[in-house]
Chain A
């Protein structure tokens, strides 16, 4: 059993390993093709990051990880929630507005803002859920459209209701009592790991428990594996679609909160867009597994943050890491399928071999 266990772990690591090697190769070829030096690129990228960047990487990892879990909730039941981007944009704006208005003070304000963010995210993704269950609209299409609507709506409200400051506009700043400090592992000037990065830890554990230890998680996975078997087992598919879509949106609502309460203090130019799409990519890279996505989020955060160094050290554009990230995702999807088929054959062969002795009667 132990050796089987080991083999199974080895097999599940095989696909991501191949993917990372492939993405390194492709990136190298692209850099060489445009006439820059791949050597410079990789030595800059693999240099140990400075303390300031290390803090930055951890903060980014947390946010990307929350986004990845949000995407994975949908993926595990066969729903493609492309709308994370819109969901967390509108949820972040709502939470920032609510917290800035200071109806409550101190930690109560933070807690209420978290609930507002989750509720708004869930409502926004719920629109796609309702459209799918009542009208049969593909969630891929509706969530993409809802992304545009969310971003436009937020822009409108920001312009009409926001605080103007010079050329920029933002929501009201949080009161001092509602900004959460963080933990500075190095010197103060290197920055803090935001307090709400703890959300990523909780979301990760929650996702694992939900999937593997609850009835809801079982229903979710069963629906994702076989819609027809799920239906025959008594799962109500429409209810599952709506619930998991809203759950995905609620988690998406949390994505930017660590930054809001950590450093940004308002929704404005400091808002970091694009985390939703990164989350989708990381969910694919980590095969929707809690631990796999953690590595994926760390890798992506590392690449994104570290690419800033390229501006100083090399003549390679920082955007090149997007190629690395993209190839990694594409390659992992393909290699995973190849490895999965190979593994199925291996399992079938093992079973027939183990049964060969005892099985004379049925043959």
Chain B
């Protein structure tokens, strides 16, 4: 039942990280008993804002008012006590435990761990149509059921305000409809939902209110009854945002990378990649579009030699590199911008110049024979810092102290050095600020003009369309369509990505 008191009021929220202002002057009002959509591009500050509301991070300024009471949230525990729960994009479930066990884990005091809890789970499941059996092992559940379990976990702990972080990213269209039906039930029971997304169709379909974020702040609100997708997109993108523009084709005839029927099987014999074939020529950018988790990471790891394909051949230039491992491939001239720079791209506690060496241990200027060439590495780091506009006090600064955008610029600079022949760029502008984004796009375009072959994986369809010469769509480990970026719309790609239709 919508009540007069707003569920959540955020006023003037600000949060600074070193070198970057993640949020400033953020105002959001979530009315009680509604689904409130928070939209914005990657890096617009949505995730920081929800971490603040969920007590993971504390704002530097501003106030949080929940159901009329001003609160200070120091931890997720306090957020849950205040009635705020969050479902992360990556589920936090123990596969080898049952639904019941996952549910009570950490909340044993609420309804015990036995029949009391079982009854409560059944009640929640029936009330909202979650269809959860308390005694089934989580490993038997599909993605949609796991997501319902996560939502139920939050309700079980007494949350009345539920934050959903891009909940539809992992779902197929039918599952999205089912999720929306669940959300309607939640709403009817008086709960409020903060729905974070950048998919405009879905937002217009489910939300009661829409708040748009751009560059760390809220830039406007919209009424889904009257707003159009075009208006929302304009609010999200703004006029200052540079958009990547396709330039004249520089594609040559020389094939730099080719995959022929590459199949990758996991230890249980399931296919992660099935019969993938592709070619990238010098001067060509091949974009891979797909909903995350459809084999993009596995494809990259296979090309980079971190996994060896079960079947099929990979050629780099004329060389058969199918069974080569990472170091040899890197030495052969593959540059790699990893998807997760913290886990795969950097030694966070090491100084910048040591990070310059990472991945280039065996090549000048980082090393001479078996020795590390400190002077060479340091000089070249200074060059990268200068040329790629990495904003850091010096090359002895630890990588951890840099903002995401500057870390990424360092990685791009590093991977572009030593004249690579092929660049694998996995989400190269994810989580970086707008300035760094434009700079990274420029570097990729310049490298393409210079004859580099690029494999670009991105969740940002505009980025893909703007930079690529060809776009392949990947779905459940198979290529399901090839598109020409000059006459494709994000909508076309979107439907191919979800299996709607192949070209």
Q: Which residue of B lies closest to A226 (CB)?
A: B347
Q: Which residues of A contact B391 (CB under 8 A)?
A: 355, 358-359, 362
Which of B172-180, B355-363, B459-467 has 4 or more CB atoms under 8 Å from chain A?
Answer: B355-363
Cβ of B397 under 8 Å from chain A: yes
User: Given A234-B327, A234-B330, does the pair A362, B19 have CB atoms closer than 8 Å?
Assistant: yes
Cβ of B367 under 8 Å from chain A: yes
State the Cβ distance, A28 to closest chain B Cβ, in Å: 36
Q: Which residue of A lies closest to B357 (CB)?
A: A218
Asked if A362 contacts B435 (CB within 8 A), the reply is yes
Q: Which residues of A contact B360 (CB under 8 A)?
A: 233
Q: Which residues of A contact B344 (CB under 8 A)?
A: 228-229, 231-232
Q: Which residues of A contact B143 (CB under 8 A)?
A: none
Asked if B306 contacts A352 (CB within 8 A), the reply is no
Q: How far is the CA of A221 from the CA of B348 in the complex (A)?
A: 12
| 0/1 string, B384-398, CB within 8 A of A gives 1 | 000000011100011
Asked if B401 contacts A236 (CB within 8 A), the reply is no
User: Given A213-B371, A217-B372, A229-B345, does the pair A351, B326 have CB atoms closer than 8 Å?
Assistant: no
Q: How far is the CA of A358 from the CA of B406 in the complex (A)?
A: 13
Q: Which residues of A contact B345 (CB under 8 A)?
A: 229, 232
Cβ of A26 under 8 Å from chain B: no
User: Given A215-B361, A215-B372, A226-B347, does the pair A355, B326 have CB atoms closer than 8 Å?
Assistant: no
Cβ of B21 under 8 Å from chain A: yes
Q: Which residues of A contact B326 (CB under 8 A)?
A: 231-235
Cβ of B5 under 8 Å from chain A: no
Asked if A349 contacts B18 (CB within 8 A), the reply is yes
Q: Which residue of A lies closest to B359 (CB)?
A: A233
State the Cβ distance, B411 to closest chain A Cβ, in Å: 11
State the Cβ distance, A265 to closest chain B Cβ, in Å: 39
Cβ of B157 under 8 Å from chain A: no
Q: Which residues of A contact B446 (CB under 8 A)?
A: none
Cβ of A270 under 8 Å from chain B: no
Select one of B18, B336, B361, B367 contacting A348, CB under 8 A.
B18
User: Given A218-B372, A228-B344, A361-B435, does the pair A352, B358 have CB atoms closer than 8 Å?
Assistant: no
Q: Which residues of A contact B405 (CB under 8 A)?
A: 362
By size class, the interface of chain B is: 35 or more
Chain A: interface residue total (CB-CB under 8 A): 34
Q: How far is the CA of A348 from the CA of B348 in the complex (A)?
A: 12
Cβ of A350 under 8 Å from chain B: yes
Q: How far is the CA of A233 from the CA of B436 in the complex (A)?
A: 23
Q: Which residues of B contact A212 (CB under 8 A)?
A: 372
User: Given A351-B397, A352-B16, A359-B391, does the pair A232, B338 have CB atoms closer than 8 Å?
Assistant: yes
User: Given A350-B393, A351-B401, A362-B433, does the pair A219, B306 have CB atoms closer than 8 Å?
Assistant: no
Q: How far is the CA of A228 from the CA of B359 in the complex (A)?
A: 12
State the Cβ distance, A333 to closest chain B Cβ, in Å: 17
Asked if B350 contacts A352 (CB within 8 A), the reply is no
**Residue of A217, A232, A347, A350 ringed by the most chain B CB atoms within 10 A:** A232
Asked if B433 contacts A213 (CB within 8 A), the reply is no
Asked if B359 contacts A232 (CB within 8 A), the reply is yes
Select one of B21, B328, B361 contacting A218, CB under 8 A.
B361
Asked if A359 contacts B306 (CB within 8 A), the reply is no
State the Cβ distance, A175 to closest chain B Cβ, in Å: 39
State the Cβ distance, B68 to closest chain A Cβ, in Å: 33
Chain A residues numbered 341-363 whose CB sits less than 8 Å from any CB in chain B:
344, 347-352, 354-355, 358-359, 361-363
| 0/1 string, A71-107, CB within 8 A of B gives 1 | 0000000000000000000000000000000000000
Asked if B358 contacts A229 (CB within 8 A), the reply is yes
Q: Which residues of B contact A222 (CB under 8 A)?
A: 347, 350, 358
Chain A residues numbered 196-239 whose CB sits less than 8 Å from any CB in chain B:
212-219, 221-222, 225-226, 228-229, 231-236
Q: Which residues of A contact B449 (CB under 8 A)?
A: none
Q: How far is the CA of A354 from the CA of B433 in the complex (A)?
A: 19
Q: Which residue of A lies closest to B368 (CB)?
A: A215
Asked if A235 contacts B371 (CB within 8 A), the reply is no
Q: How far is the CA of A363 from the CA of B392 in the complex (A)?
A: 15
Select one of A225, A358, A361 contacting B349, CB under 8 A.
A225
Asked if B336 contacts A213 (CB within 8 A), the reply is no
Asked if B327 contacts A351 (CB within 8 A), the reply is no
Select one of B19, B343, B348 contacting A352, CB under 8 A.
B19
Asked if A348 contacts B400 (CB within 8 A), the reply is yes
Cβ of B199 under 8 Å from chain A: no
Cβ of B346 under 8 Å from chain A: yes
Q: Which residues of B contact A352 (CB under 8 A)?
A: 16-19
State the Cβ distance, B440 to closest chain A Cβ, in Å: 13
Q: Which residues of A contact B359 (CB under 8 A)?
A: 232-234
User: Given A226-B348, A359-B19, A359-B391, does the pair A231, B400 have CB atoms closer than 8 Å?
Assistant: no
Select one of B19, B20, B347, B370 contacting A229, CB under 8 A.
B347
| 0/1 string, B310-342, CB within 8 A of A gives 1 | 000000000000000111111100001010000
Asked if B306 contacts A355 (CB within 8 A), the reply is no
Q: How far is the CA of A57 from the CA of B253 in the complex (A)?
A: 73
Asked if A344 contacts B361 (CB within 8 A), the reply is no
State the Cβ distance, B463 to closest chain A Cβ, in Å: 19
Q: How far is the CA of A233 from the CA of B216 in the complex (A)?
A: 33
State the Cβ distance, B452 to closest chain A Cβ, in Å: 20
Asked if B371 contacts A351 (CB within 8 A), the reply is no
Q: How far is the CA of A214 from the CA of B367 in the complex (A)?
A: 8
Cβ of B191 under 8 Å from chain A: no
Asked if B306 contacts A231 (CB within 8 A), the reply is yes
State the Cβ distance, B116 to closest chain A Cβ, in Å: 38
Q: Which residues of B contact A358 (CB under 8 A)?
A: 391
Q: How far is the CA of A231 from the CA of B435 in the complex (A)?
A: 30
State the Cβ distance, B435 to closest chain A Cβ, in Å: 5
Asked if B361 contacts A236 (CB within 8 A), the reply is no
Cβ of B402 under 8 Å from chain A: yes
**Residue of A226, A229, A234, A349 ringed by the most chain B CB atoms within 10 A:** A234
**Residue of B20, B367, B374, B401 ringed by the most chain A CB atoms within 10 A:** B401
User: Given A229-B345, A229-B346, A348-B401, does the pair A234, B338 have CB atoms closer than 8 Å?
Assistant: no
Q: Which residues of A contact B328 (CB under 8 A)?
A: 234
State the Cβ distance, B238 to closest chain A Cβ, in Å: 16
Q: How far is the CA of A264 from the CA of B410 in the complex (A)?
A: 57
Q: Which residues of A contact B19 (CB under 8 A)?
A: 351-352, 355, 359, 362
- Taking A214-B370, A355-B392 as given, write out 16 further A-B residue pairs in contact, using a Cβ cutoff of 8 Å, ordered by the A residue number: A218-B372, A226-B348, A229-B343, A229-B345, A229-B347, A232-B306, A232-B326, A233-B330, A234-B326, A236-B327, A344-B349, A344-B398, A347-B397, A350-B401, A362-B19, A362-B405
17 A-B pairs within 8 Å (CB atoms) are namely A213-B371, A218-B354, A221-B347, A226-B347, A226-B348, A232-B306, A232-B336, A232-B338, A232-B359, A233-B361, A234-B327, A344-B401, A352-B17, A355-B19, A355-B393, A361-B435, A362-B435
Interface residues of chain B, those whose CB is within 8 Å of chain A, are: 16-21, 216, 304-306, 325-331, 336, 338, 343-350, 354, 357-362, 367, 370-372, 374, 391-393, 397-398, 400-403, 405, 433, 435-436
The 10 A-B residue pairs with the shortest CB-CB distance, nearest first, are A234-B327, A352-B18, A233-B359, A232-B344, A234-B326, A363-B21, A351-B401, A354-B393, A348-B18, A228-B343
